[in-house]
Amino acid sequence: MSGHSHYATIKRQKSANDAVKGKVFSKYARAIQIAVKTGGSPDPNSNYKLRMTIEAARGENMPKENIERAISRAAGDSANIEEVTYEGFGPVGVSVIVEVATDNRNRTAQEMKNFFEKGGGSLAGPGAVSYNFDQKGIILTQKGENPEKTMLTLIDAGAEDVEEVDDGFEVYVTPTQTAAVKEKLESMGIKVTSAKLIMKPKNMQTVSTKEDANKVLNWLEKLEEHEDVQKVFVNLDIPQELVAELS
């Protein structure tokens, strides 16, 4: 959306420091372990979920040895960690999907309920929010020397949709085609920054004031700091003129 910024774009721009990276690596290590367990194999060639999780971790510059350690740990770990998805409404009514990895479903559910309510929102039942999201693969690429030519190449490679952002192009594809399209783009000389699976909002919630934007962003940042939280998807949309004013 021209002249607007989605939460994922803003988050990328704010997550460059080492402290944030350390937390990101820890979350990916846990996500890799879950992908090994739920996918039934430590081999990314036969475990699609693991393959995409590794791709996303590499996109965040997670060291190879960290990735391999997480895979090895999963093979010998008997901990009963499970994935749970929560849906709800955050500050100013934004729709939120939270994917967690937990060894205590009841504890995490209560903590999520409390967190949403403290932010002025509420948890909701299955489907109350997710109907407004589609699962997609997203590939972030650089624009290259000729952005128009790059965009045409992206479309030819199988992109369902392409959005131009400050740091490149966001390329949306069918989830099962994410890895294949990424490899195709790289073979065509396109520089790929990251590739992962997301829940893409169908309809956005636009905030109109700096106060509301900061309120939602600060709440989302704290939500992502929760040790069980793996991914957060939200339909937040911020006009570009507000982005420059955000603290």
- Where would I find the H helices in the chain? 7-14, 18-39, 48-59, 64-76, 105-118, 147-156, 178-187, 210-225, 240-243
Q: Edge-to-edge strands of the sheet including 133-141?
A: 161-165, 168-173, 133-141, 192-201
4-76: what CATH class?
mainly alpha
pLDDT at 196 over 60: yes
Q: Which of the listed ranges 23-27, 89-93, 243-247 does the model predict with the highest average pLDDT? A: 89-93
With a pLDDT cut of 70, the percent of the chain lying above it is 91
**163-169 mean pLDDT:** 88
Instruction: Identify the pLDDT of residue 75.
Output: 73
Q: What is the mean pLDDT of residues 209-230?
A: 93
Q: What is d(CA 111, CA 226) in angstroms, rounded to the nearest whole number?
A: 9
Q: Which of 83, 93, 85 is nearest to 122 (CA)?
A: 93
Residue 80's pLDDT band, with cuts at 50, 70 and 90, is confident
Domains 4-76 and 132-201 belong to one CATH topology: no
Of 131, 134, 190, 130, the closest CA to residue 158 belongs to 190
* Summary mean pLDDT of the chain: 89
| Local confidence band at 59 (pLDDT 50, 70, 90 cut-offs) | confident
Instruction: Name the most confidently modeled range: 1-5, 111-115, 149-153.
Output: 111-115
Pick the CATH number of 132-201 from 3.30.70.980, 3.90.870.10, 3.30.70.260, 3.40.190.10: 3.30.70.980
Residue type, 122: S
Segments making up each domain of the chain, as ranges = 4-76, 132-201
Mutual orientation of helices 48-59 and 64-76 as an angle, nearest 10°? Answer: 150
Residue 79 corresponds to which tokens in the numbers above?
């901990």
DSSP state of 225: H
Pairing of strands 161-165, 168-173: antiparallel
Neighbouring residues of 190: CB distance < 8 A, sequence distance ≥ 6:
141, 142, 144, 150, 153, 154, 157
Q: Kind of pairing, strands 236-239 and 205-206?
A: parallel
Mean pLDDT of 215-231: 93
